Chains A and B, each alone.
Chain A
């Protein structure tokens, strides 16, 4: 399978715990995005990487959230001191290099439930 992969697919955690999600983009895609989707809403942009550089962060990304892409391949999204409001589907997407306008391909998502 050469698509975007995400792990874990589901995570249930207690409020106050830290969680970390992983995203492996499509091979050779240098752009990687994180989005959050709550029930009945479209995905909301969280952050964007080009190679290993984090180039944009949404104001939705509070200081409890941190994302990394240390080698320009896979990325991790960590949420510290989780709150019930963090319950959502966390989606990762990637797009290929180039100066043109490129569509983003999404992974299956990680569904987080904070109890």
Chain B
């Protein structure tokens, strides 16, 4: 059965800290891996990763995929309280584009 596992499930840090969120997967017909941010509403798209070893970066957020070891990490540097959210990892599977989500990592950034 396809599965996506995220760790840790929750994390509390202080502003300015750097965090690393982990996502591992076992999915047939892997096409790409996506990261979303969810703040009490619909998930908003962050990154899509298709190739191993190529870092995607947007401001203080960056992510990389390892297709050999079947995992991805999402890094957030110099965290701010506005980064507090649930971060979801999802794998795009098969030709239909079905997303298989992990259970999410809840990040709380304290002032």
Contact = CB atoms under 8 A, between A and B. Distances in A.
Interface in A17-37: 31, 33, 35
Given A40-B103, A56-B98, A106 B31 contact: no
Interface residues of A, number: 26
B53 interface: no
Interface stretch (B14-22, B63-71, B89-97): B89-97
B88 interface: yes
Contacts of B41: 108-109
A85 interface: no
B99 to A, nearest CB: 6
B34 A103 contact: yes
Interface in A33-50: 33, 35, 40-45, 48, 50
A108 B42 CA distance: 5
B48 interface: yes
Nearest to B46: A103
Contacts of B25: none
A43 B101 contact: yes
Nearest to B41: A108
Contacts of A108: 41-42
**A-B pairs, 4 with minimum CB distance:** A42-B101, A106-B42, A101-B32, A56-B96
